[in-house]
Chains A and B, each alone.
Chain A
Amino acid sequence: MTAVLPPIPELGHLALWLALAAALVQAVAPWHARLGQAAAPAAAAQGLLVLGAFVALGWAFLVSDFSVELVTANSHTMKPTLYKLTGIWANHEGSMLLWVLILALAGLLVALMPAPLGPAFRARALGVAGMVSAGFLAFLLLASNPFTRIEPAPTEGRGLNPLLQDPGLAFHPPTLYVGYVGLVVAFALAVAALLEGRVSSDWARATRPWVAGAWAFLTLGIALGAWWAYYELGWGGWWFWDPVENAALMPWLVATALLHSIRVLETRGALPNWTLMLAILGFALSMLGTFIVRSGVLSSVHAFAVDPTRGLFLLVLLAGLTGGAFLVWALKAPRIAEGARFAAFSREGSLVLNNLLLLALLSIVLVGTLYPLALEGVSGRQISVGPPYFNATTLPIVLGLAVLMGVGPLLAWKRNPRPGFVRRLWPPLAAALAFGLIGLALGLKTVLAVLGFAAAGWLIVASLLPFVGRRRVPTFLALGTAIAHLGAGLALLGATASGALQREALVSLRVGDGFAVGGLEVRLYDVGPVAGPNWTALEATLHVSRDGRPVATLTPQSRTYTTPPMETTEAGIVGWRGGDLYAALGKPDGSGRWQIHFWIKPLVHLLWVGAVLMATGAAVAAGGRARMAWPGRARPLVSRPVPVPAE
């Protein structure tokens, strides 16, 4: 690589500084009487400048400009082009730039779209978003500059961690970041509403699509991460209650609570202060998650490059931004009326209970994640808080939520249900009983697992009930809710079945040996070398049969990548009866034996289907209370193609 390339990285660096200037204008202008109108143009300019910086970094990765330190550290000329590009955010600096980019683009979008709450309100919301942007741009420029050059430039890069060269992980961070940025927008709208003393149904209506979008992307992002861990790590699991996973789960829990409480505010004008608090809390926890991931205060299976200086910077940002917002809440919230009253067994009541359960889950995850750190700091004792704790404490609450999710959408607003209401619950109750019995017949051993099956059956049937026997075409909101709840029911079934009905064997075999697991015969047929573009591998061939009849052939690999040198486990996975047969190949022991870790994971596919349905449901629900068809032509949904939404 000769040195005649135009100084594109420097241009990108310059664009970041200019973007910081634009963000500062955006942050300051709305609070000034005459400069207020500058906020929207500044937000637009910031969006374009950060986009320019991102394109500049992308260019450096694409042409493998190894004079840029970040490219050298994370790329290689031999890498497939897709992973050259995803390599942009497979590192600390680049991923923070991506985060800032998505935030800046959201600002651009807000600036270009009509302002439903008026230009002055929009300017203030943009001002708050500008403060967040300015903080992160300063963090990038002062503590994580992605454009740092090295002299002399090396001729080849060190390559990307092969575990990250995977579509699941390539798109996991951007998806999650879109979700976090949606929470930033909700945060900005909440703080602006507090400052203006204006929290109303209108505010909720304008904010809810952002929350629903954020929630959809957070759901997808977490599911992609779980899917990646399942398929790529070769450990046979998709959730490990690891600090980094918990860091992503916590904002999701708050976003879920917010998504439901904002519904109460929109429809009934109740719970304004509570909803605003959740909007701030969602942002605070996404910041806390970033801090946990980047500062290295907790040890995790998912190793990130960590740096205490960066951790301190992020902590100051976290404390400053959320502290400021909490202060505004403390000062302004009392002036906002608490809104309309409602009965205990009303829709509002169920949504309040939903919030209570979700925040209880949040407290458990937060305390469980930080407890070992606190205890070691106080008494020096080392403890581990792992799956046994989190499963025991959270799963009963999750089951309660599932029951509530089934019944909530059937309740009426404001008042208690009418006397005949309980009769509507017979079908889901029957489904719960049936699913529980099926689970028992399939060999469930624990009460919790049987209840998990029953709750899933209950939820799956109950989520479809709002459409039974109704003549009117549903609203987007009702349909989206039903899809999301159905997705949650399927995910619950998949999680329970793949966990409680899983069969597992870890054995050491010679070629030709076999073993039995869960009614299947598995035989190690062969082990031989195979080669890929930038790796070589040993591949085992496992023949799986049932009663002498072949079921599947699995080919798990133990791969060795060349740049950087690293060994990975490539699981052999074949779908079987809605679940997976899953095998991982371990190291040879030197005496001709091979370690094989084999799992049967029933119904695990339902998890991924459920997550996609949940995200889809949230997206549909963002369409609001418009009906699925033109008004006045009330017919059942199934009998007609879905026309253009009436908005």
Chain B
Amino acid sequence: MTVSRILPLVLLAALATFLGLNLGRPQQATVRSAMVGKPAPAFALPGLAGEPGLRQADLATGRPVLVNLFASWCLPCRVEAPQLAALRRAGVVIHGIALRDRPEDVAAFLARHGNPFGRIGLDADGRVAVGFGSSGVPETFLIDGQGIIRAQHIGEIRPEDVPKILKELRRWG
């Protein structure tokens, strides 16, 4: 009898503790890719006029590379351009995938904000982005020498992220 009397109190305490613990935790606004730890998807994207595109085979070259999803219509992509340039200067191979974009817009974007990319693939219908488990731009994936996705960076790369990314690259290199 007494147990059922205090049951509401016990349930309330459990609920309040649970909610209290969750208060400080920021809500995950974006979904993480489930492809981390799996091989990069098979794909072959066309490139800009007169240039080669990007294929799955380009990612498994024995050394880690970054794949950056961007678009000319995406503002944070402009914000991260200097960081991509810095990574490039540090010797990192970065391939680009332009999401739902037109070749001429991509060319104009690169002319204006710099081109840090080794190869660029045009993902006109966004299908390859889905293959990577990406939910938007900008996002950057780290792929190891065997072509396995090892890390996902959601959102623009900020200056303070550059050393972390370099460290990750060394870890998988």
Contact = CB atoms under 8 A, between A and B. Distances in A.
Contact of A298 (B13, B24, B27): B27
B9 A319 contact: no
A455 to B, nearest CB: 32
Nearest to A323: B12
Contact of A311 (B18, B23, B29): B23
| Secondary structure of the B contact surface, majority rule | helix
Given A296-B27, A299-B27, A315 B12 contact: no
A334 interface: yes
A377 B22 contact: yes
Interface in A54-90: none
Contacts of A308: 23-24
Nearest to A311: B23
A281 B7 CA distance: 13
Contacts of B12: 284, 319, 322-323, 326
A167 to B, nearest CB: 31
Nearest to A331: B5
Contacts of A281: 8
Interface string A282-317: 001000100100011111000000001001100100
Given A298-B27, A299-B27, A382-B28, A334 B5 contact: yes
Q: Which bucket holds chain A's interface residue count?
A: 20 to 34
B1 interface: yes
Contact of A312 (B1, B15, B23, B27): B23
Contacts of B13: 319, 323
A318 interface: yes
B7 to A, nearest CB: 9
Contacts of B127: none
A327 interface: yes
B25 interface: yes
B21 A291 contact: no
Candidate in A297, A298, A327 with the most chain B CB atoms within 10 angstroms: A297
Nearest to A384: B31
Interface in B1-51: 1, 5-6, 8-9, 12-13, 15-16, 18-25, 27-29, 31-32
Contacts of A334: 1, 5
A326 B22 contact: no
B16 A318 contact: yes
Nearest to B28: A382
A376 B28 contact: yes
B71 to A, nearest CB: 14
Interface in A408-440: none
A382 B29 CA distance: 11
A312 B9 contact: no
Contact of B27 (A297, A318, A323): A297
A312 B5 contact: no
A298 B19 CA distance: 10
A334 B24 CA distance: 39
Contact of A333 (B5, B18, B21, B28): B5
Given A318-B16, A334-B1, A326 B24 contact: no
B125 to A, nearest CB: 13
B79 to A, nearest CB: 21
Contact of A327 (B9, B21, B28, B31): B9
Contacts of A311: 23
Contact of A329 (B8, B18, B20): B8
B20 to A, nearest CB: 6
B23 A295 contact: yes
A247 B41 CA distance: 41
B18 A323 contact: no
Interface of B: 1, 5-6, 8-9, 12-13, 15-16, 18-25, 27-29, 31-32
Interface of A: 277, 280-281, 284, 288, 291, 295-299, 308, 311-312, 315, 318-319, 322-323, 326-327, 329-330, 333-334, 370, 373-374, 376-377, 382
15 contacts: A277-B8, A281-B8, A295-B19, A297-B19, A308-B23, A315-B23, A319-B13, A319-B16, A322-B12, A323-B9, A326-B12, A329-B8, A377-B18, A377-B21, A377-B22
The 9 closest A-B pairs by CB, nearest first: A319-B16, A330-B5, A326-B8, A326-B9, A297-B22, A299-B27, A311-B23, A308-B23, A330-B6
